[in-house]
Structure 1
Amino acid sequence: MPTQDESHKSNLTNPHGLGDPDDRRLRIVEKEVLIPKIMRDRAKKEKCVAEVAEFTKCCAASSLLMAYTCRKENALMQECQSRWYKDEGFKKECEDIYFKERREFRLTGIPKKHRLKEPA
C-alpha cells in the first residue's frame, strides 16, 4: 500500500491531480460497477442487437401484458447478454475501453460526457 508521500507524488505527476494516467489498478467500484456497465451497454448495442430488437418490438406490441407475453424474447436477450458477460476476451476489451477513458480523464480533467459534446 503506498504511503501518503507516494500517493501525493503520483498525483503531482498528473497536471490535474487525478492520479497516474497509466495506472492499471482497479478499485472495487470500477471492477463491479463501471466495467460491467460498459459490458452491458456494448452487449446490448453491438452483440445482441437482434435479440434486443425482438424484445423491444414485443414489448411495444404487448403494452401491459409484456412481462407475460415477451418471456421468450426476454429469455433469448438475457441468454445472449449472459454469454457475452462470461466471455473473457470481451471483458478484457471492455476493461481496455475503461482504462482508455480513465486515462483521458486523468490527463485532461474533463469527464467523458463533457468531452463528447460539440464545442458551441
Structure 2
Amino acid sequence: MSFSILRNPYVLAGAGSIVLLGATIHQYSNNVAENTGFHFKDPDPSLRIIEKDVLIPKYMTNEAKIRCDDYAAKFRACVDKTEPFTKDRVMTFKTCKKENDDLLECMDGYFKDFNFYLEIKEVYLKEKTLYKACNVMTKDRNIVKDRIRNSAPVDDFTGDFLSYYNSVKSMYEKTGNMDAYDDHLIKSYNDLKAQITAESA
C-alpha cells in the first residue's frame, strides 16, 4: 500500500470519522444496556434478558425504520446528492447532519416509548409461538403464503414446510383468510399452555 494514500486528507478524515462514530455508538450502546435496557422495565419472567434487550429490539428497529421512512428518504436523497468517492460522500455524517439527526431522533423516539416496546413484544411473542407450533420460520411462512397466493408449484416443499403449506392452504380455501391457520395455531398453543399451567398449580 502506498504511504501517499495514508497521507491523503480524505482518507484520514474518513478513517477518523469511522473511528469516532464507532466509539460513539459503542459508548451509547453501553449506556443503553446499563441504564435503559428493557429488562429493567419489563418484569415478565417468561422472557430472558437477551429477548428483552436484543431480540425484541431487533423487531422494534425494523418497525421503527418503516415508521421513520420519510426521514430515511430525506437522508438517502441528501446522500445521493453527493458525488461518489468525494470528500462530501466520505463526510456524509457532516454533509447530511440535519437529515441524519432527524432520522436518529425519530428512531430514538420509538425506542424511548415503552408502549411501543410492549406493542412489538406482542408481535415477537406471536412469532415465537408460531415457530414453536409449526417449526417454520417467519420468512419461510411468508414464502409458503406467497406460493399459495400465486398458485405456484411446491415440488421443493418437504417435511414441516409441506405440512404447513397444506394446513394454511386448507384453511385459506375455507375462510378466505391467509392467516387463519396461524391464528388457529396460536390459540391452540396458548390454550394448551394455560391448561398445563392450571393443572400444575
Please tell me the TM-score bracket, short chain as reference.
Answer: 0.7 to 0.9
Distance, in Å, in 2 between the alignment partners of 1:102 and 1:40 is 17
Which residue in the other structure is 1:98 paired with?
A: 124
Deviation at residue 67 of structure 1 after TM alignment: 2.2
C-alpha offsets along residues 51-78 of structure 1, whole Å, 9 cap, x if unaligned?
Answer: 1111111112224242221111000110
1:1-120 map, 5 Å: 25-46=46-67, 48-62=68-82, 63=84, 64=89, 65-117=91-143, 118-119=146-147, 120=154
Taking only aligned residues, the RMSD between alpha carbons, in angstroms, comes to: 1.8
Deviates more, 1:103-112 or 1:28-37: 28-37
Distance, in Å, in 1 between the alignment partners of 2:94 and 2:109 is 23
Deviation at residue 93 of structure 1 after TM alignment: 0.5
Deviation at residue 99 of structure 1 after TM alignment: 0.2
Residue identity (%)? 34
SS in 1 for 2:47: coil
Q: Which amino acid is 2:136 matched to?
A: I
Deviation at residue 92 of structure 1 after TM alignment: 0.5
Quick check: which has more Rg, 1 or 2?
2
Which residue in the other structure is 2:173 paired with?
A: none
Q: Which amino acid is 2:69 matched to?
A: V
Which sections of structure 2, spanning at least 5 residues, go unmatched? 1-44, 148-153, 155-201
C-alpha offsets along residues 55-112 of structure 1, whole Å, 9 cap, x if unaligned?
Answer: 1111122242422211110001101111111111111010000000000001001111
Deviation at residue 28 of structure 1 after TM alignment: 2.1
Distance, in Å, in 2 between the alignment partners of 1:27 and 1:110 is 22
Distance, in Å, in 2 between the alignment partners of 1:57 and 1:37 is 25
TM-score, length-normalised on structure 2? Answer: 0.45
Matched residues, number: 97
